[in-house]
Amino acid sequence: MSKGWNRTLLEALAFLLSVVVFWVPFYFVIINSFKDRTESSLLNIDWPSRFHILENYKEVLAAQDYMMVRAFFNSTVITLLSIAVLVVVCAMTGYVLQRRTDRWSGPIHFLVMAGLMIPPAVVPTIWVLDSIRLFKTMTGIVLVEVALGISFAVILYKSFMATIPRKIDEAAVVDGCGSYRMFFQMVFPLLMPVTSTVVVLSSVGIYNDFVNPLYFFPGAKNATIQLTLYNFTSMYNTSWNLLFADIMLISLPPLVLFIFFNKKIVAGMTAGAVKG
């Protein structure tokens, strides 16, 4: 009986902690995005005297000649292109690193691990991108996002690849499959659990990235979704109601992604960790 009460108490405490840490701030953002400028400047969780939902969200979308719409387009294109390159490159790299064991495997694995520890250098990266004429271009920012996410994705793919028997590779070779055909037709479909994990986690990270587009993809026409927050805040004046409305619009796509794919994220990460 005491164990049951202890478990119930822990679950209740965990629920209360989640409410305090997650739901109260979320409610704070939502309710202030419905207020007018004066009431939202009080920064409290009181109910608004009058709702300004349509006015606030329409003003956010129309601000700076519809910068929000351009930013949504830019962020979506950057995210989709980065994820496509990341999945293909990292899946192939993880496959090779797991299947091959020679004198180069150790140094290559060390370089992959080093990518998780060594921070990116902004000025040298800008110099390299500018020297190859990719600075302020969509291609340049996609390559930066891929380079920053490649280590984590390769480790996940390499760990999960250990769950796939080598007999599949041998059977494909006996049937006359080439290397690329064997990987994309037989091995890659088996990587769907970890691919779902990489897609969701990397999509949220790239979509919410603030620093890299600010440094490597500057310009009003190149604005991404996170940079639109600058439209409503300044040194001397901040429109809190519009800022919170902007935050809500930014948060919706990752929130929907997590709601529908949270089980796949856990499944992909645990399968690679436990069986690898």
Tens digit of pLDDT for each residue in 55-98?
Answer: 999 999 998 889 999 999 999 999 999 999 999 999 999 998 88
More confident: 113 or 57: 57
Given a cut of 60, whether residue 274 has pLDDT beyond it is no
Domains detected in the chain: 67-275 (1.10.3720.10)
Q: Give SS3 for 201.
A: helix
Q: What is the pLDDT of residue 242?
A: 93
Using alpha carbons only, what angle is made at residue 170 by residues 164 and 175, rounded to the nearest 5 degrees?
A: 125
Residue 238 has φ and ψ, to the nearest 5°, of -140, 125
With cut-offs at 50, 70 and 90, classify the pLDDT of residue 254.
confident
21-33: average pLDDT: 90
169-179: average pLDDT: 82
Under a CB-based contact definition with an 8 Å cutoff, are residues 191 and 157 in contact? yes
Q: What is the pLDDT of residue 265?
A: 63
pTM of this prediction?
A: 0.85
With cut-offs at 50, 70 and 90, classify the pLDDT of residue 276.
very low
